[in-house]
Amino acid sequence: MKPRTKLQKEVFELSTLNRKYDVLKPEQEKWAFKHCLEHKGFATKSRVICMDCGETFSPDLIYRKRATCPHCETKLKIEYTRKSTDFQWEYFAVAEVHLNYQVIRNFKLTAHYKQGQKAKRYCHEILQYWINDYEKVTMVGHNHNTTGYCDSWGSDWAIRVNRRSGYYYNGAKYKIYPYKFHPDSKFKDEYRKFGIDYRLDGLYFLDAIKVVPQYSIAETLLKAKQYSLLFQCRDYIGKVNQYWASIRICLRNKYKVKEPDVWFD
């Protein structure tokens, strides 16, 4: 929709300038494709296809379902299948600070793979969160179409709001949980002091800035990199508070809880 309030007009103007002059750097895009997508090799008894470069090589190079492509030197995770094509997509984000705003720029990566061809990769900016000093969030981006079996981003760059519409509740329509933040991301000091930085995992950013400052338990888990347990805090602590005495033993012994549901039982 068109910006209407004073805040929306300011954010939309800043966002438009941001996209025009602060484009994603080639090295950031290269990092995203390397660290946010899987690098696969499709193997049979007679050959292995490197899905990154499309070339084939001998299965003799496979060791414990891992191999390094002799053509592009990419480290591959091997899958035994007769498939020769693949498709992947993933979200990643870059955090920036503009004036008094914390900005989260969300990107969608897509990659098409085919034997004999180098992977075709695309990166598009889809949505930005602009958070002011009062933690008021203004969203600017493309429309997220989640009708039926469709999940796509399109239309003009505009102010976006969550609404209840028809069969779908769109409270999560513009809720993006990126696979990773780029290491060059910049966060406000007020967030970094709680441990919220590019390594944030387990919580959606807009949930993290509400939950972590209010609950010392969540802050402790974040700084200890207990991301799977931090995920349990998305509903404001829950079982984490109930089992806190046991969790503290894990923290003292530097034991990482990878499957909280099983561990709680």
State residue 168's pLDDT score.
Answer: 46
Contact in structure between 4 and 11 (CB atoms under 8 Å): no
Contact in structure between 182 and 31 (CB atoms under 8 Å): yes
**Spans of the chain, pLDDT less than 70:** 148, 164-171, 235-237, 265
State residue 166's pLDDT score.
Answer: 46
Angle between helices 205-214 and 216-223 (to 10 degrees): 120
Helices (H) and strands (E) in the chain, counts: 9, 13
pTM: 0.91
Tokens of 106: 């969300």
State residue 237's pLDDT score.
Answer: 65
Alpha carbon of residue 59 to chain centroid: 33
